[in-house]
Amino acid sequence: MHKDHIRLAVVGATGAVGTEMFRILEQRNFPFASLRAFASERSVGKTIRCKGKAYPIEVATPEVFKDLDIALFSAGSETTKLFRDAAKKGGCLIIDNSSAFRMERDVPLVIPEINGDDIKAHKGLIAVPNCSAIVMLMAVCPISKLSPIKRIVVSTYQAVSGAGAKALAELEEQTQDFVAGKQPVAKVLPHQIAFNLFSHNTAINEAGYNGEEWKLIHESKKILHNDSLAITATCVRVPVMRAHSESVNIEFKDARPTLEHIHKALAEFPGVKVVDDRENNYFPMPLDASGKDDILVGRIRNDISNPKAIDLFVSGDQLRKGAALDAVQIAEYLVKNDLF
Amino acid sequence: MHKDHIRLAVVGATGAVGTEMFRILEQRNFPFASLRAFASERSVGKTIRCKGKAYPIEVATPEVFKDLDIALFSAGSETTKLFRDAAKKGGCLIIDNSSAFRMERDVPLVIPEINGDDIKAHKGLIAVPNCSAIVMLMAVCPISKLSPIKRIVVSTYQAVSGAGAKALAELEEQTQDFVAGKQPVAKVLPHQIAFNLFSHNTAINEAGYNGEEWKLIHESKKILHNDSLAITATCVRVPVMRAHSESVNIEFKDARPTLEHIHKALAEFPGVKVVDDRENNYFPMPLDASGKDDILVGRIRNDISNPKAIDLFVSGDQLRKGAALDAVQIAEYLVKNDLF
């Protein structure tokens, strides 16, 4: 299909990731012939702007997909499950931000800079990985090419907007309550998030890991095509509005690469920016990563506890590269390679 | 000396840790015959209350120590260095919260629950460890008794009050600015802390570690009497007012203990509370740890990346057990064992 004829849609247009998608489609001047915005019933009547035009919010039905070529889904697992067959039947390709199908064998799970070529084997649905996995792997991938990685120990500092627009509003509300001398109330998130932090509130499985940690661990193996990669993760929600940060310890199978080689590999990797100014104590911060496309990597140092390991710290906007940008990049890859 | 005759002083009485000391002396009904409160010139005229009495703030001079038995120092390294000799000459024992002398061979570095008996060898100065070290070791020590530990990978989530009362005020100010729609300004801390986080702002050494990480690593070895313990640490400041949290990965030399044994050892250890409710997703949070004496430990699970390792998450009030309480407990140990 010629790229000027792409009939595009965003499903979940009013959410934290959905609104970011419209921004990114405009900023990157994504070529579409038409664009439709789908959300739930209660958003009908609203519009959302892109490239100078206002798009009315519509409610998706199975029928809409026969008039679409690509649909960027970001409305939760249930919505993707609901429309997957209809989209396939209608000939509309889904790029899905939900976790519903990420681990299915015939679903490419893609960070274009890392495993873009996996897109070629798609069967109508391509999944965008978990945001914490994307933020971590953008730093891990270029390093893994220098020397094979044996094990990763990662602890996350995850922004509230990762839990959605309502959670973000709750942090703001709790903050206002605090300033007004009122007791902050938790309604969306399970605990007060203002001036607090807590273990990611996805369910704990039998192994003792929560859902977010499990995704980070298993999606990383799939994306890197490396089932033997050992990963342990601790995922924590922090009172930051936007951009996830992660403290990452990387142990290599053999000798660790030199810090010079690591710096070079990161600096040359598209979508990564090295922020590692030891003298001025300036390193990746979520405030600097917010609204940016690049994943910031710093605190790169030899681990004194293990001669084969290094430590580093990453911050990346989980709504952009961790979700919406990754989805749009997948769409760009499809267009560039005539893959739909 | 009979415990009813202790002439006590707090040096640095108006700081974040100092004010907490007065609170703890009262709560624990520490036996003192007299109490004096020292701070800098600009606090003169103020008073601080303890056990129903108001103590005027005085400025310390070398002469005051000859009339004192124990001085709890929390006024920074320079102040302890300034008065160490005068205190020794005056026969006044120093319990020091600063890092000035912690690593000196003849200075006991003490968490009473862990290495209280080290106090017996004191030469007039006993050091309180770094707050992050205390919070971590309260969880690590009981576990290390089950099976020797080989390596620890720790990432911290450190509260702003750890940087002092002014930093805490800055977080509040920046929060008010945010709510008022104004751009928050960083004056005390190097970067905006409201809705942000950053690598601990102590200087980075040649190995690439910052001062806080270096203290955590080396003080832990001294406290546990284990020079071969391998530790790597990443210390991060988060927008939490009070109580440090830490994500800790512990690798054993041999087989890891069972989770049941670990739970039991932690539950039986004084000063530790296990908060590990997987079903209700309830784990240690700084808000729960704030103002409490116990170090909260949870997320205790087998590390799926390493059959000899476990993961856990800790929250503890760094102003109480991480500083002021530890100092008062050391004083209590001295009193109980007639050690001054």
Segment B264-313, tens digit of pLDDT: 999 999 999 999 999 999 999 999 999 999 999 999 999 999 999 999 99
- A263-277 average pLDDT score: 98
Enter the DSSP assignment of A194: T
Dihedral Cα B263, B150, B98, B5, nearest 10 deg: 50
User: What DSSP element (H or E) covers A133?
Assistant: helix A131-144
Q: Judge if B293 and B153 occupy the same domain.
A: yes
Q: What is the mean pLDDT of residues B15-22?
A: 95
Residue A145: CATH number of its domain:
3.30.360.10
Tens-place pLDDT, residues B228-243: 999 999 999 999 999 9
Compute the average pLDDT of residues A196-206. Answer: 97
Q: Which of A132, A126, A121 is nearest to A110 (CA)?
A: A126
- Minimal C-alpha gap between B288 and chain A (Å): 9
Those residues whose C-beta lies under 8 Å from the C-beta of residue A232, and which sit 6 or more positions away, are A151, A152, A153, A154, A217, B249, B303, B304, B305, B306, B309, B311
Q: Is A244 a catalytic residue?
A: yes
Q: What span, in angstroms and rounded, lies between the C-alpha atoms of A42 and B143?
A: 53
- Backbone angles phi and psi of A31, in degrees to 5: -75, 115
What pLDDT score does B1 carry? 57
Question: What whole-number distance in Å separates Cα of residue A37 and Cα of residue A50?
Answer: 10
Do A308 and A183 share a structural domain? yes
B89 in the same domain as B148: no
d(CA B21, CA B319): 9
Task: Note whether A285 contacts B191, CB cutoff 8 Å.
Answer: yes
Cβ-based neighbours of A214, under 8 Å, separated by 6 or more: A205, A207
Q: Looking at the complex, report in whole angstroms how far the Cα of residue B264 sits from the nearest Cα belonging to chain A.
A: 17
Interatomic CA distance for residues B88 and A322, integer angstroms:
58
CB contact (8 A) between residue A234 and residue B245:
no
DSSP code string of B103-161:
T-TTS-B--HHHHGGGGGG-SSEEEPPPHHHHHHHHHHHHHHTTS-EEEEEEEEEB-GG
> In this complex, do A283 and B199 lie within 8 Å of one another by their Cβ atoms?
yes
Query: Dihedral sign, CA of A267, A271, A273, A274?
Result: negative
Is B206 or A339 the better-scoring residue by pLDDT? B206
Angle ∠(A216,A217,A223) on CA atoms, nearest 5: 80
A307 and A197 co-located in one domain: yes
User: Looking at residue A3, what is its pLDDT?
Assistant: 60
How many Cβ atoms sit within 10 Å of the Cβ of residue B7?
16
**The dihedral of CA B19, B315, B133, A245: what is its sign?**
negative
Residue A8 host element (H or E): strand A7-11
Query: CB count, 10 Å around CB of B323?
Result: 27
* Interchain pair B283, A209: CB under 8 A: no
- Cα separation, A198 vs A184, in Å, equals 16
Residue of B140, B174, B234, B250 to mutate, testing the A interface (most A Cβ within 10 Å of its Cβ): B234
Clarify whether residues B45 and B68 are in a common domain: yes
CA distance readout (Å), B168 to A190, A223, B136: 25, 42, 22
Helix, strand, coil % (nearest 5) of chain A? 35, 25, 40
Averaged pLDDT, A37-51? 97
- The rounded distance, in Å, linking the Cα atoms of A200 and B279 is 13
Counting one residue from chain A and one from chain B, the pairs whose CB atoms sit within 8 A come to: 168
Do A28 and A328 meet the contact criterion of CB atoms below 8 Å apart? Answer: yes
Residues A151 and A120 in one domain: no
- Asked if the model's pLDDT at residue B254 lies above 80, the reply is yes
Find the Cα–Cα–Cα–Cα dihedral A21, A23, A24, A29, rounded to 10°. 120
- In DSSP notation, A23-75 reads HHHHHTT---SEEEEE--GGGBTBEEEETTEEEEEE---GGGGGG-SEEEE-S
Structural domains of chain A, count:
2
Residues B164 and B43 in one domain: no
| Subunit contact B201:A306, Cβ cutoff 8 A | no
Residue with token string 């005539």: A338
Average pLDDT on A174-180 reads 95
- Rounded to an integer, the average pLDDT of A228-240 is 98
Q: Which of A151, A174, A199 to mutate to test the interface with B (most CBs of B within 10 A)?
A: A199
> For residue A48, what are the domain limits?
3-129+323-336
Query: What is the pLDDT at residue B2?
Result: 59
pLDDT (tens digit, 9 = 90+) per residue, B35-85?
999 999 999 999 999 999 999 999 999 999 999 999 999 999 999 999 999
Q: Which chain A residues are within 8 Å of B208, Cβ to Cβ?
A: 259, 278, 299-302, 311
List alpha helices for chain B, DSSP H: 16-27, 77-90, 112-115, 131-144, 165-179, 211-223, 259-268, 286-289, 325-336
Confidence of residue A1 (pLDDT cuts 50, 70, 90): low
Average pLDDT, chain A: 97
Parallel, antiparallel, or unpaired for β B149-157 and B47-50?
A: unpaired
Rounded CA gap, B67 and B90, in Å?
A: 7
Catalytic residue, chosen from B50, B92, B131, B141, is B131
Query: pLDDT digits over B77-135, tens only?
Result: 999 999 999 999 999 999 999 999 999 999 999 999 999 999 999 999 999 999 999 99
Task: Assess whether A230 and A159 both reside in one domain.
Answer: yes
pLDDT above 80 for A230: yes
* CA separation for the pair B8, B19 (Å, rounded): 15
- Residues of chain B contacting A278 with CB distance shorter than 8 Å: 204, 208
Do B51 and B192 fall into the same domain?
no
Closest residue in A to B201 (Cα–Cα): A281
Contacts of A151 in chain B (CB under 8 A): 305-306
Question: A213 and A179 in one domain?
Answer: yes
User: Cα distance from B68 to chain A (closest Cα, Å)?
Assistant: 40
ipTM of the complex: 0.96
Contacts of B104 (CB under 8 A, 6+ apart): none
CA A331 to chain B, closest CA, distance in angstroms equals 32
Token pair recorded at residue B29: 């009904």
pLDDT at A2: 60
Contact B280, B308 (CB under 8 A): no
B209: nearest CB among A175, A236, A301: A301
CATH number (domain holding residue B331): 3.40.50.720
Cross-chain residue pair A306–B232, CB shorter than 8 Å: yes
Pairing mode, strands B70-73 and B93-96:
parallel
Q: Which of A178, A245, A281 faces B197 most closely, judged by CB atoms? A: A245
Q: Are residues B191 and B309 in the same domain?
A: yes
Q: With a cut of 90, say whether residue B4 has pLDDT above it.
A: no
- What is the rounded CA–CA span in Å between residue A237 and residue A239? 7
Give me the residue from A176, A231, A309 closest to B179, CB to CB: A176
SS3 label, residue A288: helix
CA distances (Å), A134 to each of A61, B54, B196, B231, in order?
A: 31, 57, 20, 27
> Could you tell me whether strands B309-316 and B244-252 are parallel, antiparallel, or unpaired per DSSP bridges?
antiparallel
* Rounded CA separation A23/B338 (Å): 70
**DSSP code for A282:** B
List the structure tokens of B310. Answer: 């476990």
Whether residue B218 is found in the same domain as residue B332: no
Token pair for A271: 């979508």
pLDDT in tens, B22-38: 999 999 999 999 999 99
Q: What is the pLDDT of residue A5?
A: 87
> What is the tens place of the pLDDT at every residue in A105-145?
999 999 999 999 999 999 999 999 999 999 999 999 999 99
| Contact present, A107 and A127 (Cβ < 8 Å) | yes
Q: In what order do the strands lie in the sheet with B295-302?
A: B230-234, B149-157, B244-252, B309-316, B295-302, B272-274
The pLDDT value given to residue B5: 87
Active site residue B200: no
CB contact under 8 A, A306 and B231: no
Distance CA B38, CA B82 (A): 14
Sign (positive or negative) of CA dihedral B138, B139, B142, B146 = negative
Band of residue A13 on the pLDDT scale cut at 50, 70, 90: very high
Closest CA to B38 of B22, B59, B20: B59
* Three-class SS state of B274: strand
Contact present, A314 and A245 (Cβ < 8 Å): yes
